[in-house]
Amino acid sequence: MKLKFFGTGTSQGVPVIGCHCEVCDSANRKDKRFRSSALVTTETGKKILIDCGPDFRMQMLTNKEEQIDAVLLTHEHNDHVIGLDDLRPLIFRNGKNIDLYCQKRVGDEIKLRFPYAFADVRYPSAPAFNLHEIEKPFTLLDTEVIPVEVSHGKISIFGYKLKNLVYITDASFISDREKEKLKNLDYLILNCIRKTGLHPAHFILPQVLELFEELKPKKMFLTHISHHLGLHDDMELELPENVHLAYDGLELLL
């Protein structure tokens, strides 16, 4: 089983349109970041997508992936869901709806943004989804999925635990109750938007490092990274041992 980072950037991606800072102008491919998403390949070869943002089509083509069997959604913000329409070629080829798993609130938003996918009489080329509301641990494609509830500013969103890995993006607070799910991990993947300046809806570097010391995963990978965090190679030298910046295309074996 493995997880591949499809994207590790914030809602604007990196480089940011019109920005010429050293990160946005960097020639290092590890400083080029699609919007945050990940692809899990199960032990039986099934493909579970975590979030489907505006870069989904290019993420699939860049990584030479051709199949998605199910989608886990962390929350309803556009940089995590607006690429759902681009699942159409897979839906047409497979001849069946794609299953989406999310909180009820998120599912309601999906219906509002993609009403044509849920119409009683659908346009022939419209996508088609099966929405599944989730709250508790469940089995998906022979894989146990444990939702981890975190706060993203004022809204509750889900991270996901798969085997001994937890993937959390867009968090600004994790309760003590949910932290129990984050102990003794092989991998903790956590959002980190920038080095300094508190953010109302995202962790920044000092907060992330505090969580690393508190939870003590074997390895931590930072994602949902903005150009304000700095150059990938420079940050790798600054970070403590076993804390790393994720980059697009990186794979972790679970």
The helix/strand/coil state of 211 is: helix
The reported pLDDT for the residue numbered 67 is: 97
CB 60 within 8 A of CB 67: no
pTM (2 decimals)? 0.97
Distance CA 53, CA 215 (A): 29
Distance CA 190, CA 205 (A): 10
**In tens digits, what is the pLDDT along the chain, a chain of 254 residues?**
999 999 999 999 999 999 999 999 999 999 999 999 999 999 999 999 999 999 999 999 999 999 999 999 999 999 999 999 999 999 999 999 999 999 999 999 999 999 999 998 888 889 999 999 999 999 999 999 999 999 999 999 999 999 999 999 999 999 999 999 999 999 999 999 999 999 999 999 999 999 999 999 999 999 999 999 999 999 999 999 999 999 999 999 99
In this predicted model, what pLDDT tens digit does every residue of 76-118 receive, in sequence order?
Answer: 999 999 999 999 999 999 999 999 999 999 999 999 999 999 9
The helix/strand/coil state of 104 is: helix
Distance CA 6, CA 8 (A): 7
The reported pLDDT for the residue numbered 106 is: 98
Distance CA 138, CA 134 (A): 8
